[in-house]
Every structure is written in structure tokens, then in C-alpha cells.
Structure 1
Amino acid sequence: MFIATGSIELVHPDSSGSGGFSLANTPLYGGGMTSVHFTRSGYDYAVFARVGRAPGNGQASDPVFEDGVTVSRDGQHLSTRICDDGGAGLQQDIRWLPRRGGN
């Protein structure tokens, strides 16, 4: 169930101030993905912006831009929500975030 439009559904960090953000860059076929990760109440969130090309029939394909959020728990993928912004990407400067596990 989602909260009504205009309401804040998730605030991070929570009132305890626990958790932190990390940044990951992942190469993809014909592009790449940048994602910001954090954990809250046992759930792992990744906010991502990606661009890639779908291979097919030896023909060049147009790039696909997509932004969204994935949610997982205990390594199990639970949900992916795609933004309806047309793949505008992450608009803020996020280079200050610590790098996630070796990238």
C-alpha cells in the first residue's frame, strides 16, 4: 500500500540517525548505471539512473534511459519501481558519497 500523493512515504535517516548512503557505478551493455544505496529497518534500497542498449539482430539500437528504486531484504529482490520522468537521471551532485564495495 502506498501513501497518498504529496505525502512523504519514507524519510532517511530515521529518527535514530542510523544508516548511511553509498554510491555504486556499474557498467552495462552500451551504457552504465549509477545507484545510491541505503538500508532502513532491514530493507535495502537502491535509487538508480541507468542507460543501456538492448542487443538485437546485429542492429544498433537506441539507448534506453531509466530511473527507479529497487527494494530487497535478506538478498531477496522485493520490488522495482520505475520513475515516470523519462530517465532524467540523478540531478544532484552525488560524488561526495562513499563508494560502495570496490567501485
Structure 2
Amino acid sequence: MIKNNNIDNIGGMEFATFRLKEGVTETRLVELSHQVEAEFLSQQEELILHFLVRGTDGVYADVAIASSQEKAEEYCQQWLRNKVALEYLELLDKESVNMTFWSKIN
């Protein structure tokens, strides 16, 4: 999902790596990611970009780029109060999650 293609508005990012729970398919992850975008993330005005990437050995990353690191952190906390976002989070192997936040410096 891209809400605003002006790169000058980028100020912060959430970057979370994870593995899926046993038995969860990538197809289901992508389906729920689209649902989260449609029902939740599309309402976040300062969210600029959200996407999933797949690495090697079954590792995925969920990336959210916002107007500031603070906004990225705020949106991340809101996942815990949204029904479809919580459903998405249930797909993840909790022990494998590594979430970090970043601020643009250049």
C-alpha cells in the first residue's frame, strides 16, 4: 500500500522480522495483510507506505513507513486494539518477532 509517493514526507519506519506459526501459509499472510491495509492502515493519515517482504529460510519482514518514527510507533501500538490486525498478528511465531523503529537522518 502506498498512500503518498512523496519521499520527502518519510521520517520514520517500523521494521519487524518474523517467521510464521507452524501450518500458516504465505498466502494467508498476504490475504490478511491486504485486509489490515484496507480496514485499518488506510485510515492512518501519516502512514506513507506498508509492505511485506520475504527473506531466506522462512523469514518475513513487515515494513511501515510514516511521517516520523513517533508516528510509526503510534501506529504499531494501535495494531493491538484492532480486530483484523490482531488476527494478522496471530499468524506470527511470537518467539521469532524482532521489531525495531528507525528515524530518517538523510
Normalization by structure 2: what TM-score?
0.28
* More relative contact order, 1 or 2 (CA 8 Å, 6+ apart): 2
The structure with the largest alpha-carbon Rg is 1
Normalization by structure 1: what TM-score?
0.29
Q: Which has the higher strand share?
A: 1
